[in-house]
Amino acid sequence: MSLPPGIHVIHDAIALPAPHDTVRARAVHRAEYPVVFADSVEEAVKHLRTVVPDQRIALVTDDTVAALHGRELREELHRQGVETTVTTIAPGEASKTLRTAERLLDWLAGSRMRRRDVLVAFGGGVVIDTAGWVASAYMRGMPYVNLPTTLLAGVDAALGGKVAVDHPQAKNLIGAFHQPTAVIAATPWLSTLPARHVRAGLAEAVKKGVIASPALFELIERDLPEILALEPSTLRRLVHGAATVKCALIDRDPYEEDLRRPLNFGHTIGHAVETVTGYGPVLHGEAVAFGMACAARISLGRGWMTGTASTRLLTVLRRAGLPCDRAQLPAPADPGAVLAALEKIRLIRDGRLRFVLPTDIGTSAITDDVTDDEIRQALSWSPDPDPDPRTARRNTAP
């Protein structure tokens, strides 16, 4: 048989097992993708060109990001010869729905996008989660690249391939794992971020320092004023450091087979607070900060965490203007309601309520024997009056 050059015969001889043997299907998928940091939009698009050399781009963003940064990005894409079609969604968690996803799927289906073309999610966690889920579903999965524009997305949501939209029954209920082709963060996009969102993003970075990286925690302790002032080179080091820690942690268990995850630090009580306050009035990062403070108090009460470590954590949260006690939450969260929400979470999760309790800066322990009394005490803790009026003012700022 002679075939034209470049055409090869595919040779296989798969043996058949005994008819009653179990047939095993295996599908192992591990992805590796670059996470890069650019100092300008031009540099970010150059990185994008290296991972998307000749495909077309469908760019999804939200109205706020489009108004602030959309034109510059579109012009740079055009200048570097990237064919792009753009759509926007309304900003905020209310957009993270199946309805928005359906509209994006209709838009893709009506466009000239092919399976190997690339969806680009340009925005915060809401755009990234929604567009990422659409990318996971469109034609059984199309490539997507994340361009995070919030601190929270840069240090957390853009990494790890967890994509989802919310359902009235629960947040992130409709989701998938779909790993991005690349994550490209650029410091100029963060320059317009409102202070409250900077603080909320910072909470997720503090979390990573506490559970896994004293070096990251020290960076935050030392450079907090520059971070809050959005100083570009400090922000770059923060995002780079937090992304490094998150990538190292997800590398150990990329598809979350182990439910005992240190990355859930602050999230047990944090999720319950988000639920009882109706998803929105308390930002995710604010709820996580409060959850971390509660977990530290529980750990301290058990003698698992030293007073020095717990003070360091609470001091950083307070200096960052993040809520450490209930009175500082932007919306009221009644302890009884929080306990009831936790009880629901316990029922969904096989009767176990897992807590990540910090034991020091850089180490934690996971337990499911935290009692209602310990939770109630942590929720009801109230601080000494804050001697520093500047911090007190920041805590109540919008």
Q: Would you please indicate which residues are annotated as catalytic (active-site) residues?
A: 140, 162, 204, 246, 256, 260, 264, 267, 271, 284
Could you say which of 65, 113, 287, 317 contacts ligand NAD (CB under 6 A)? Answer: 65
Which range of residues in 45-53, 87-95, 314-322, 338-346 is near ligand NAD by CB under 6 A?
87-95
Sheet holding 118-123, edge to edge: 35-38, 182-186, 144-148, 118-123, 57-62, 84-89
Per CB under 6 A, does 332 bind ligand NAD? no
Pairing relationship of beta strands 118-123 and 144-148 according to DSSP bridges? parallel
Q: In terms of CB distance, is 196 or 376 closer to ligand NAD? A: 196
Instruction: Evaluate whether 385 touches 300 at the Cβ level (below 8 Å).
Output: no
C-alpha 207/C-alpha 375 separation (Å) is: 19
- Least Å distance between CB 21 and ligand NAD? 40
**Binding mask of the shown chain, residues 361 to 390, with x at each position contacting ligand NAD by CB under 6 A:** ------------------------------
Q: Which residues contact 61 (CB under 8 A, 6 or more apart)?
A: 70, 86, 87, 88, 89, 121, 122, 123, 127
Token pair listed for 316: 């950083």
- Least Å distance between CB 170 and ligand NAD? 11
C-alpha 190/C-alpha 236 separation (Å) is: 10
Q: Which residues contact 374 (CB under 8 A, 6 or more apart)?
A: 298, 301, 302
- Least Å distance between CB 190 and ligand NAD? 6
Which residues, 168 to 187, sit near ligand NAD by CB under 6 A?
172
Q: Kindly calculate the radius of gyration of the chain based on its CA atoms and give it in whole angstroms.
A: 23
Per CB under 6 A, does 17 bind ligand NAD? no
Per CB under 6 A, does 277 bind ligand NAD? no
**Binding mask of the shown chain, residues 115 to 154, with x at each position contacting ligand NAD by CB under 6 A:** --------xxxxx-x-------------------xx-xx-
Instruction: Evaluate whether 185 touches 37 at the Cβ level (below 8 Å).
Output: yes
C-alpha 118/C-alpha 281 separation (Å) is: 34
Instruction: Evaluate whether 362 touches 212 at the Cβ level (below 8 Å).
Output: yes
Total residues at interface with ligand NAD (CB under 6 A): 30
* CA-based nearest residue to 117, from 54, 176, 162: 54
Per CB under 6 A, does 286 bind ligand NAD? no
Token pair listed for 76: 């740079």
Could you say which of 49, 55, 68, 228 contacts ligand NAD (CB under 6 A)? Answer: 68
Per CB under 6 A, does 273 bind ligand NAD? no
Residue identified by tokens 């940091």 is 37
Which residues, 215 to 254, sit near ligand NAD by CB under 6 A?
none
- Least Å distance between CB 64 and ligand NAD? 3
- Least Å distance between CB 133 and ligand NAD? 10
Q: In terms of CB distance, is 204 or 325 closer to ligand NAD? A: 204
* CA-based nearest residue to 122, from 143, 153, 92: 153
- Least Å distance between CB 24 and ligand NAD? 31
Q: In terms of CB distance, is 117 or 156 closer to ligand NAD? A: 156
* CA-based nearest residue to 165, from 135, 144, 122: 135
Q: Name the region of 321 (left: φ>0; alpha: ψ -120 to 50; beta: rest).
A: left
Could you say which of 50, 111, 192, 380 contacts ligand NAD (CB under 6 A)? Answer: 192
**Binding mask of the shown chain, residues 45 to 64, with x at each position contacting ligand NAD by CB under 6 A:** -----------------x-x
Residues that bind ligand NAD (CB under 6 A): 62, 64-65, 68, 91-93, 96, 123-127, 129, 149-150, 152-153, 156-157, 160, 162, 172, 189-190, 192-193, 197, 200, 284
